[in-house]
Structure 1
Amino acid sequence: MLADARVGQPPMSRAEADAALARLRDERERISAALLELEAHHGYQLLDGASLDGETRRVQSEVRAGVASLWTLFDVYGRVLGAAEELRSRHAKPGQAQLTELTRLLAGPSVELPAEEVPLERRTLLSVPSGERLTLREAVERMTPLYEEAARTVAALDAVWSALLSRLAEVEAERRAAEELLESLDGAEPDLDRLRADLDAVAVVVRADPMALARDGQVDTTRLDEIRTGIAEVRRGLEEAERLRDGFADRIRGVASVLDLLREAEAAARRARHEVLAKIVAPALPDLPETSAALADRLTAVGRPARDGAWNDLAARVADLEKAANDALERARDAAGVISGLLDRREELRGRLEGYRAKAARLGHAEDAELARIHEQARELLWTSPCDLRSATVALAGYQQAINSRAKGVDR
Structure 2
Amino acid sequence: MTGTGAPDRDRLDADLAAAEDAVARASTALVDLEAHPGHGLLVAGGFAGVSARRREEALATIADLHRDLALYRRAVAAARDARGTRSRPSPDELAAADEALHGETVVAAEEVVPLQRRGLLGATSHVTRTSAPALLARMTAGFDAVTAVVAAVATVWDAVAARLGPVLDTLDDLRRDVVTADAPEPAAELDRCAARIDALRTAVLTDPLAHTGTTEPVDAAELARIAEALSGVRTALDGVRALHAGLDRRVAELTAAVDALAGQEAAAVEVAEQVARLITAAPGLPVPTRRAPQLRAALRAAHDDARAGRWTAAVAAFAAVAAGVETAQKAAATDRDVLAGLLDRRAELRGRLGALRAKASARGRSEDLALDALHTRAHELLWTAPCDLPAATVAVRAYQRALEDGAAS
Q: What is the TM-score when the length of structure 2 is the normalising length?
A: 0.76
Residue 110 to residue 274, structure 1, CA distance change in 2 (3 Å): same
Q: Distance in 1 between matches of 2:401 and 2:99?
A: 126
One-letter amino acid of the structure 2 residue matched with residue 43 of structure 1: G
User: 1:3-402 to 2 correspondence within 5 Å?
Assistant: 5-6=1-2, 8=3, 11-21=6-16, 24=19, 27-28=22-23, 31-48=26-43, 50=44, 52-53=45-46, 55=48, 62-84=57-79, 90-113=85-108, 115=109, 124-125=113-114, 132-167=128-163, 169-189=165-185, 192-193=187-188, 196=191, 199=194, 203=198, 210-212=205-207, 215=210, 217=212, 219=217, 225=223, 230-284=229-283, 285-304=285-304, 306-307=306-307, 309-350=309-350, 366-367=363-364, 369=368, 374=374, 377-378=377-378, 381-382=381-382, 384-399=384-399, 401=401
Residue 131 to residue 229, structure 1, CA distance change in 2 (3 Å): farther
SS for the counterpart of 1:286 is coil
**Which deviations, in whole Å up to 9, do the C-alpha atoms of 1:5-44 show, x marking residues without a partner?**
35x5655423543553465456556544543442232212
Q: Give the conservation status (yes or no) of the 8 Å contact 2:79–2:101.
A: yes
**Which deviations, in whole Å up to 9, do the C-alpha atoms of 1:146-185 show, x marking residues without a partner?**
2233222212322333344445544543433333233234
> Is there any run of 5+ residues in structure 2 with no aligned partner, and where?
116-122
SS for the counterpart of 1:317 is helix
Task: Please name the residue that 2:119 is paired with.
Answer: none
Q: Distance in 2 between matches of 1:355 and 1:214?
A: 91
Q: Distance in 1 between matches of 2:176 and 2:221?
A: 23
SS for the counterpart of 1:112 is strand
Residue 11 to residue 296, structure 1, CA distance change in 2 (3 Å): same
Q: Distance in 2 between matches of 1:193 and 1:351?
A: 67
Between the two proteins, the alignment pairs up a number of residues equal to 392
Residue 202 to residue 299, structure 1, CA distance change in 2 (3 Å): closer
Q: CA RMSD in A?
A: 4.2
> Is there any run of 5+ residues in structure 1 with no aligned partner, and where?
none
**Which deviations, in whole Å up to 9, do the C-alpha atoms of 1:355-379 show, x marking residues without a partner?**
8789x89xxx934556676566545
Q: Give the conservation status (yes or no) of the 8 Å contact 1:192–1:231.
A: no
Residue 140 to residue 283, structure 1, CA distance change in 2 (3 Å): same
**What displacement does 1:268 show?**
1.1
Residue 392 to residue 90, structure 1, CA distance change in 2 (3 Å): same
